[in-house]
């Protein structure tokens, strides 16, 4: 294999060191960096390449250093000492490296957050991956814009304590509250605190996107002064602890046959299993066997034990069969399309369900389809 010096050509290296103009040296820097990034190097060749990169990082011309930073911003070939030197450079050089370079450790990033100022903190906040250690620092030291940006970064890991701190620092900031609310996943305590902090539109999003405790769910449903609407079926599907959720609903007299039927039609099988187990007074594992693996009479027997109306048995049978016949395909809007297919199968099967339940399912199916079309537009 050709040596690094031969692969990069002596002419390129001479141009990098002795080029008459910054433009000439910047072009040579780009070519050299691209070659270093793409080449498979021996240990000796890597040392030579690193020395060349250190020469570039010390070039007096900003254009040369920027060419290096832009070309190697995603590269593992950049030595950590050079990356940290570039991170302290002028913004046109430092920001590409801070935003993307994979060679920084958490210790490096923490130092940038502490001494780099708002612009560099913003670059850190946008990185494609962040640990909870760094997000904690950004929440503690960042400006409102920085904190909103890192909270909106779903590739950034957060502890519950850090999210609560963000809400403490910027309780009146719509920008920060919205960023937290639109995260793909939130701790239960953060979700429930947000509901009391945001406006009606954002509150509706939280209620349709995140799980609540059974106590808070019922509080919102029963609260006469609560403006936000909440769909108990949605919360049934999101419950982190379905056993506790159905137990609370049963205690409150809300674990109705209609709710169980609607949840099943949405594909919330775990909720269905725990709900039937709760009403039947049968352990979950035995209930699961009777629903899924006990032949055609198992489901009927457990529904009778649970005291569910016999007129709904065919509807429950249709829901279970539809669930077994469908699966997630891994595509975009996977869950939404699965639920639409579940409801379609359910509604076109021969069963006896109330007109109110059927109209509810049709309305939900139309709403889901409209939402997907709007998101795809």
Q: What is the CA radius of gyration of the chain?
A: 29
The yes-or-no verdict on residue 54 having pLDDT over 70 is yes
Nearest of 217, 175, 173 to residue 195 by alpha carbon: 217
Quick check: 169 and 192 in contact, CB under 8 A?
Answer: no
Task: Show the tokens assigned to 358.
Answer: 């059927």
- 172-206 pLDDT per residue, tens: 999 999 999 999 999 988 998 998 898 878 887 88
Cβ neighbours of 340 (radius 10 Å): 19
The yes-or-no verdict on residue 84 having pLDDT over 80 is yes
Cβ neighbours of 60 (radius 10 Å): 8
Task: Output DSSP code: residue 130.
Answer: B
Q: What is the pLDDT averaged over residues 80-97?
A: 96
CA 314 to chain centre: 38
Per-residue pLDDT at 206: 85
Rounded to the nearest 5°, which phi and psi values hold at 27? -65, -45
Nearest of 217, 227, 223 to residue 191 by alpha carbon: 217
DSSP readout, 324-354?
A: HH----SSTTHHHHHHHHHHHHHHHSS----
Helix/strand number for the chain, H first, E second: 25, 0
CA 360 to chain centre: 29
- 139-149 pLDDT per residue, tens: 999 999 999 99
Task: Show the tokens assigned to 264.
Answer: 């099943």
DSSP readout, 44-99?
A: HHHHHHHHHHHHHHT-S-HHHHHHHHHHTTT-TTS-HHHHHHHHTS-HHHHHHHHH
Residue 121: pLDDT band with limits 50, 70, 90? very high
Q: List, in order, residues 6 or more apart from 7 with CB less than 8 Å away.
A: 35, 39
Helix, strand, coil content of the chain in percent (nearest 5): 70, 0, 30
Residue 156, beta-bridge partner list = 130
Tell me the pLDDT of the chain averaged across its residues. Answer: 84
């Amino acid at each position: 294999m050709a040596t690094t010096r031969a692969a990069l050509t002596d002419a390129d290296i001479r141009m990098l060191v002795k080029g008459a103009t910054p433009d000439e040296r910047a072009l040579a820097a780009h070519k050299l960096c691209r070659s270093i990034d793409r080449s498979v190097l021996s240990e000796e060749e890597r040392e030579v390449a690193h020395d060349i990169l250190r020469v570039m990082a010390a070039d007096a011309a900003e254009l040369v250093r920027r060419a290096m930073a832009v070309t190697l911003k995603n590269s593992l070939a950049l030595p950590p000492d050079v990356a940290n030197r570039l991170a302290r450079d002028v913004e046109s050089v430092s920001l590409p490296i801070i935003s993307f370079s994979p060679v920084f450790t958490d210790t490096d990033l923490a130092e940038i957050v502490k001494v780099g100022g708002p612009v560099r903190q913003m670059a850190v906040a946008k990185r494609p991956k962040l640990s909870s250690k760094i997000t904690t620092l950004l929440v503690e030291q960042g400006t409102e814009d920085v904190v909103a940006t890192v909270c909106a970064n779903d590739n950034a890991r957060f502890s519950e304590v850090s999210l609560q701190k963000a809400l403490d620092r910027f309780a009146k900031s719509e920008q920060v509250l919205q960023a937290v609310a639109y995260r793909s996943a939130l701790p239960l305590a953060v979700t429930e605190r947000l509901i009391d902090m945001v406006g009606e539109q954002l509150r509706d999003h939280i209620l349709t996107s995140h799980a609540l405790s059974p106590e808070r769910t019922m509080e919102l449903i029963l609260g006469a002064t609560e403006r936000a609407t909440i769909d108990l079926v949605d919360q049934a599907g999101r419950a982190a602890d379905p056993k506790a959720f159905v137990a609370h609903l049963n205690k409150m007299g809300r674990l109705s046959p209609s709710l169980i039927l609607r949840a099943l039609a949405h594909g919330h099988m775990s909720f269905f299993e725990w709900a039937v187990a709760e009403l039947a007074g049968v352990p979950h594992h035995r209930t699961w066997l009777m629903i899924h693996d006990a032949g055609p009479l198992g489901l009927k027997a457990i529904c009778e034990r649970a005291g569910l109306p016999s007129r709904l048995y065919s509807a429950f049978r249709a829901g279970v069969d539809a669930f077994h016949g469908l699966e997630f395909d891994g595509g975009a809007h996977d869950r939404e399309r699965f639920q639409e297919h579940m409801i379609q199968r359910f509604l076109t099967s021969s069963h006896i369900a109330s007109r109110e339940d059927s109209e509810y399912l049709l309305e939900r199916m139309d709403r889901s389809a409209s939402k997907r079309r709007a998101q795809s537009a």
